[in-house]
Amino acid sequence: MAPQDTLSYGTNLNLSINSITFTSNPDFNFNTINYVAINNIEFNYVGDQVSLDSGILISLSRALSQAELGSLNIMLEQGNDENNSTIIQFTQTYDEDTQQLRLQPESLNFQQHYHLSVNSPAFDPETTLQTEFQTLDFINIASTTPAINSENVAVDSNLSIELSRTMSQAEFSHLNLHLIETDIIRDSKIESVVRLNQEQHQLVIEPNSNLSYGKNYQIQLSSDAMNPTTNHSINFSTIAPVEILNTDPISLNRFVETNKAITISLSRNFTDTELSDLQVLFEGIPGDSGGPQTLGFTLEQNIEQQQLVIKPNNEFDYQTWHRLAIASEALLNNGESVAHFQTTPAGGVLPIDQLEMVKVIDVVHTSPPEAYYTNKHQHFLGHHSTNGQLSTAEVLFETNGIWELEYKQSFNRVIPGEKTEIEAVEANGSSTIGNIFYHLGQITRINFAYSDATSNWHFEYDCQFTYELDILLNELICLSRTLPTDPWVLDSFVSYTYDSDGFMISSQREHYNNGMLDETIVETRSYNNGNLISTIEASTGISNQQYKTDYTYIDGLRMNEMRYVFNETTINWELIDKVLYTYLNGNRIKEELACCGFTSLNCEINYYEEYFFDAQNYMTHSMYYSFDTTQGSFQRQRESNFSDCPMKKTYDNAKSRHELGSFKMISLCEENYGLPSLFDQMLLVVKVMSPMAGGGPTQA
């Protein structure tokens, strides 16, 4: 039987059945089931807001019958306004065991208000469920470390983003976060690990390696959970690398006091971390024996002065080159040699920065009457301004008591260690002006312009040097132009190759005319025990000649140089000139030169010069002779007297890196005559490169 009227919940029911048919006529009593009450409604929360993936779990006071389940009328609406609300679809599951009803909305949206109503005859009409909830706010960036648009951020900084609310793991898994370097277009992404902190309120970005100095970075965030109306990019720039502004002593300085502390002026102070990571190589480089010797030192940073002060534990050796190199990722270009200087001779000299005038080096030339140098005095004058910033050299000739300027050059170190201005004036009025640029003791660029006596431009050069590994000059590119208004054209290109010991084994020089290649010279060099023994030059282009020079040694002293040209007709190397050297007590006392000519088979000496030395092996004077064909004998052309300033001259036999380093002169007047010429500058640059790996020959 089925009741025709709906039974009521929570009541007592009595059923009586009467009939003679039945053996008994009992009464049956039933209790109808009570209304369903909602014990609890649960959402998935992130913080105190409902997450978008939240289900809605409704815990009921009792189980539902299928009919009751079917009678449920559940509605989920988005929006505060009844007239403008959206019905949200959901799936509904019922777990009879737990007496729980789970609603899973198909999609909830951020930062929205929702209304949930659950109706059923099974519910007490007085307690029908109506509930509301608010979904998660969009995530905004609350704060960042570093702050947005920060500058000077440390390269090992912690990068973190404080979020406006808790981020769920699901949201985190859909987060796109990139750290990019904005200075470059390709491969700009910085490999990083991104974590959500335990409180799920902060994103932590850990780059796999330190950031680069002086770069612009951007953290890009994108996520459905992020507020779409806001830009979530975080820009910041890292701290600039430390630049070494100058050093005291400046690089290439000589006559440095033996108790000198090295001061390095910096563009900014090192941080403590950077300072602790700083690598310092401080070594003395004895000129005549052994390899470099590491020096002990203490290092302090003077914060106020933005200086590093390096104090050697012991006094320097006298008249010894020293090299200080510092390396750090925090340094521009990672740093390198920063100071290369020579200590003062043991006898003591005036500090270079106190020198104002230097004394005259009087060289007396006495020659036959017809010679140019007849009875002339030649004076070399050197001048240093204070702090060695300006150096000048003047060469004057005296003729019959009248002094004339033969040549004058000046070097003005406008930025010590970075730029030196050069200016030279010849007696004929022509002049040269230019600049030499350095970086960390190496020449990176030289430009200069020649002008004639009337100041009409003749020519300009602009040459750039490139280095490989930090010490090897491996390319030289020169541009030139005739007039300042002309376009620059390629003038020459030189590339060098070196063996593993640092010896230059070949070079290729290309010469251009009006930008067009007109000659290529390939030179190859051979060495034996560190001595250059052969050079072959092959030219293609306007000359198409091959030259060869052989060098001969005895006990490490170069005895002769034989220069040949290849005769295409006879298919033979033909001697074109030769130089012979004579030594006494290790001093080269005679140099003889024979200019043989292309076809000369009888190659006789044409010129020679004799050098004279005192007991201390200082050169005191020299005499220069040429063969006078009219008289059939050698005639002395010039005598140079260095007695006022004797010089010691030593020789290198290996053209190890650059032929500019082929000899050195040490003058007793060097404290006065210590003027670098352009030649000298380049020579010293080569010195900076020493010591060579593999222990080459003694190098100036």
Partner 1 sequence: MFSRLFCFSILCLSLFACSDTLDDKEITLHMPEVLITDVSVKHEADNIAIDTLINLSLNEQNEPIDISYATITLNKIEEANNATAVDINIKLDNEEHRINVQPIEYLAYDSWYELNVSGMRFDTGEAIHIRFHTIEAVELGAPLITTLDNNLLVDSEILIPLSRALSPLELAQLQIQLQQRLDDQTAVIIKV
Interacting residues toward partner 1 by CB under 8 A: 1-9, 11-24, 26, 28, 30-34, 62-63, 65, 67-68
Decide whether 7 or 147 has the Cβ nearer to partner 1: 7
Tell which residue, 418, 348, 361, has the closest CA to residue 389.
418
The answer to whether the CB of 156 falls within 8 A of the CB of 210 is: yes
Q: How many CA atoms lie within 13 A of 1 on its CB side?
A: 6
**Residue with structure tokens 């007490």?**
124
DSSP bridge pairs for 672: none
The answer to whether the CB of 326 falls within 8 A of the CB of 295 is: no
Minimum Å distance from CB 34 to partner 1?
7
Decide whether 119 or 435 has the Cβ nearer to partner 1: 119
**Residue with structure tokens 């001697």?**
575
The answer to whether the CB of 407 falls within 8 A of the CB of 432 is: no
Minimum Å distance from CB 125 to partner 1?
14
Tell which residue, 506, 505, 477, has the closest CA to residue 491.
477
Decide whether 33 or 275 has the Cβ nearer to partner 1: 33
DSSP, res 693? T
Decide whether 21 or 630 has the Cβ nearer to partner 1: 21
- The token pair at 642 is 């260095």
Three-state secondary structure call for residue 387: helix
Decide whether 23 or 400 has the Cβ nearer to partner 1: 23
Residues 6 or more apart in contact with residue 126 via CB below 8 angstroms: none
Decide whether 27 or 106 has the Cβ nearer to partner 1: 27
Q: How far apart are CA 383 and CA 393, in angstroms?
A: 6
**Residue 618 amino acid letter:** Y
The answer to whether the CB of 378 falls within 8 A of the CB of 397 is: yes
Decide whether 9 or 634 has the Cβ nearer to partner 1: 9
Decide whether 24 or 569 has the Cβ nearer to partner 1: 24
Minimum Å distance from CB 7 to partner 1?
4
Minimum Å distance from CB 225 to partner 1?
43
E-assigned strand segments in 249-369:
262-266, 279-285, 293-294, 297-302, 307-312, 321-327, 337-342, 361-365
Minimum Å distance from CB 91 to partner 1?
24
Decide whether 96 or 300 has the Cβ nearer to partner 1: 96
Q: What is the dihedral of CA 13, 70, 130, 123, to 10 degrees?
A: 0
Decide whether 6 or 198 has the Cβ nearer to partner 1: 6
Q: How far apart are CA 205 and CA 73, in angstroms?
A: 48
Minimum Å distance from CB 46 to partner 1?
37
Decide whether 6 or 173 has the Cβ nearer to partner 1: 6
The CB density around residue 107, as the number of other CB atoms within 10 Å, is 10
Decide whether 71 or 677 has the Cβ nearer to partner 1: 71
The answer to whether the CB of 145 falls within 8 A of the CB of 29 is: no
Sheet of strand 38-43, all strands in order from the earlier edge strand to the far edge: 38-43, 56-60, 100-105, 90-95
Decide whether 4 or 276 has the Cβ nearer to partner 1: 4
Decide whether 13 or 148 has the Cβ nearer to partner 1: 13
Minimum Å distance from CB 71 to partner 1?
9
Instruction: Using CB atoms within 10 Å of the CB of residue 8, give its burial: 0 to 12 exposed, 13 to 18 middle, 19+ buried.
Output: exposed
Minimum Å distance from CB 199 to partner 1?
44
Decide whether 11 or 273 has the Cβ nearer to partner 1: 11
The CB density around residue 143, as the number of other CB atoms within 10 Å, is 12
Q: Is the peptide bond before 207 cis (omega within 30 degrees of 0)?
A: no
Minimum Å distance from CB 36 to partner 1?
10
Decide whether 31 or 629 has the Cβ nearer to partner 1: 31
| DSSP-derived secondary structure for 556-574 | TEEEEEEEEEEETTTTEEE
Three-state secondary structure call for residue 69: helix
**Residue 594 amino acid letter:** A
Q: How far apart are CA 461 and CA 57, in angstroms?
A: 84
Minimum Å distance from CB 29 to partner 1?
9
**Residue 47 amino acid letter:** G
The answer to whether the CB of 397 falls within 8 A of the CB of 376 is: yes
Minimum Å distance from CB 60 to partner 1?
11
| DSSP-derived secondary structure for 454-470 | T--EEEEEEEEEEEETT
Tell which residue, 314, 696, 230, 305, has the closest CA to residue 505.
696
The answer to whether the CB of 324 falls within 8 A of the CB of 608 is: no
- The token pair at 192 is 């990083």
Minimum Å distance from CB 103 to partner 1?
22
